[in-house]
Structure 1
Amino acid sequence: MSFAADELTRDAFLRGRIWLYQPKLGYRAGIDPVLLAAAAPVRDGQEVLDLGCGAGAAALCLLARVPGARVTGLEIQPEYCELAERNARENGVDFHPVLGDAGDGGRALAGRNFDHVITNPPYYRAGAHTLASDAGRQRALGEQVPLADWIATAAKRLKPRGYLHMIQRPDRVPDMLAGCAGRLGSLELLPLAPRAGRAPELVILRARKDGRAAFRLHAPLVLHQDDMHLGNGKNYSPAILAVQRDAAALPWP
């Protein structure tokens, strides 16, 4: 079933470089897909898979920074896949959502491989969070496909030496590392801390197909530059403001 017009909002991202239709009551994109898109070192002409693309926030943010890339999305919820198609048309970008399951190896993309996979899978293990009243939001937040299967699909769809970038909660790091074992290497973890001295609330995993470099745990990237919440994003650090306002790349150590 499609979303009705009065069930949607149209929101600006990256200071109006892109506009995103998204449900009022379903899963709504925040800063997470923005940071994910900014972390991937994508170049013009490369092909990217947004695994579990939702309404397309990460894909659109990536294309605002690298307009010469080509992005395919894979989304299991038909209404979100349809919404992603609408957002691709509205923004006039090379983004093509496909209806399919991240848990079956990306069967809907059989025979296709990509230079990069980006993904923002559900943060919570099944039964580990309060159920959302909206079914779409519940599916986006609560794990139904094991995290290892997301990683297995990403590895299967990557070209040799291709990169995976995944944003997740810190408590899922053991699951991410276990999922990469035997599939992806050259693992790096970049923690994202809300403020200096605070524990990270998100992490970004970078992994490479056929990678052989030693594991690296980076110092946290601090999102806010002071101890106070000033509202309206005014206290974001200069690097994060550049990502949000200018579609800049996320500084990677």
Structure 2
Amino acid sequence: MSFRVVIPARYASTRLPGKPLQSLAGRPLLQHVYDCACAAGADEVLIATDDERVAEACAGFGAENVMTSAAHRSGSERLAEVVQLRGWAEDEVVVNLQGDEPLTPPAAIRQVAEDLIRFPEASVSTLCAPIHSAALLNDPHTVKVVRDAAGYALYFSRAPIPWERDVLGAEEREAPIGWRHIGLYSYRVGYLRRYVELSPCELEDVEKLEQLRVLWHGARIHVAEAIEVPGHGIDTPEDLALVEALLAQREAR
């Protein structure tokens, strides 16, 4: 199987300035993410940034860096520029791995690429994990997905979907009561080029979920259950401390 991984890495971050270069267990956060991608068996792993400080750090730990525009509004747009600069073929598969996810299992990265190859009708592939608690289902920071019988996405929302009308008040159940979306994507290169030219849609603006643009314009997203669920991502100093502690526990085993 052939696939590539691109890691968009933007230096600016409101809640955690200089996030990609923050020290995590003695190494830059971005290096941990890069190591996860390399362990997935990709043909090529690239870091896409618009900041020379990130580029310099990449050189320090041996990663290949691609300089991209500072005007991009999303990781997908940055990814599309890399695709264009590299001239990759339309049918190639590229995984978008966020630069603040140092606990992403290599198996999940490989899975999302394999899944897109297995489902030729899909333009995009992503992952999900079961939700067992009402608190998580109702959390607007947790994106939920509903799939059809073949595993294709019907809708993504911050709201609790599906809403089980006849079951009220259950705090936790053994069977899944919903599915949490995991923000790891693979694209067919040809579709990614078209995607960034599509106009945003009303649902995307309302939910603040970029993937709804794909469904709105008629393409299909396949959503497989993750064989290994990624760990905690990093958005804040508190997240950084938490992941540092988790890595220390892992090393101590």
* TM-score, structure 2 as length reference: 0.35
Give the structure with higher Rg (CA).
2
Structure scoring higher RCO (CA < 8 A, sep ≥ 6) equals: 2
* TM-score, structure 1 as length reference: 0.35
